[in-house]
Amino acid sequence: MIDTPTRTFIKPLDRLIAIREASTMLGLSIKQLRDLDNSGKLRAVKTEGKHRRYLLSDIHARMGIPATGLIEQLPIAVYCRVSSHDQKQKGDLDRQKLRLLEHCAKNNPTSRIACILDEVGSGMNDARPKLHQLLKLVFERKINKVIIEHKDRLSRFNYKIFKVFFESHGVTIECLEERLPKSFEDELVDDMLTLMASFSSKIYGKRGAANRKKVTEATCVNTLAAQEHLNKMKEKIS
């Protein structure tokens, strides 16, 4: 039995979700969700085993998604990214997330948001953890749409490859903007400088290794020559 002291029923189209799923959807930690429950700001339903469960409608309400007209279907994913921690500290990542959620509420009111993936990293970095998580959702066919601000948020290059891969798994990519704001030109410059610095360090690293190898070889030759000279001196003395 589920103990629901503050609720008498669950809406037919509603359902209970685990705290971990709620954490992923809201982009909050499990501790933050527990604090919200304890403060009464986001009530959880506690099972007989004292596990917290959340009504999906409450999570949607927290995300600003209208509760009317919800239907069960494959959910969508929201992906946000900024290139630097400085941008995150200035609130760029939070504002980007808010714009995407407002777009979902307006243009996808009947769709359930599976998760909100946000991270800091270069658009040329293919090892981004949240990007890998998104690719896994697509590969496992757990979503049917990805919402991004513009295609460069997903990847600086080879966007069409991502698009073909997503569509082959029944997933569409929805971009809020087709043209980049002027501020993103500076961000692209930063990414290019980072790439150049990476290549430069690798080149100089190889040169340094080659120089160290030459020094080592020269030292070995000199050591052998010195040893040979010493042996000759010993022979003359004896």
The CATH architecture annotation of domain 73-180 reads 3-Layer(aba) Sandwich (3.40)
Cα-Cα end-to-end distance for the chain: 101
DSSP-assigned states of every residue in 188-208? HHHHHHHHHHHHHHHHHHHHH
Find out whether 129 and 89 touch, Cβ atoms under 8 Å.
no
Condensed to tens digits (0 to 9), the pLDDT of residues 79-112 reads: 999 988 998 999 999 899 988 988 888 887 767 8
Residue 168 token pair: 């082959």
- Tell me if residue 83 is catalytic: yes
Residue 165 has pLDDT above 90, yes or no: yes
What is the domain partition of the chain in residue ranges?
1-70, 73-180, 182-238
Active-site pick, 83, 111, 122, 155: 83
Kindly tell me the burial class for residue 115, based on how many C-beta atoms sit within 10 Å of its own C-beta (0-12, 13-18, 19 or more). Answer: buried
- Give dist(CA 80, CA 133) in Å, integer: 13
Query: Does the domain spanning 1-70 belong to CATH 1.10.600.10?
Result: no
**Better pLDDT: 210 or 80:** 80
Binning the chain into helix, strand and coil, the percentages to the nearest 5 are 55, 15, 30
Find out whether 66 and 109 touch, Cβ atoms under 8 Å.
yes
- Greatest mean pLDDT among 11-20, 175-184, 225-234 lies in 11-20
Condensed to tens digits (0 to 9), the pLDDT of residues 66-76 reads: 665 444 467 89
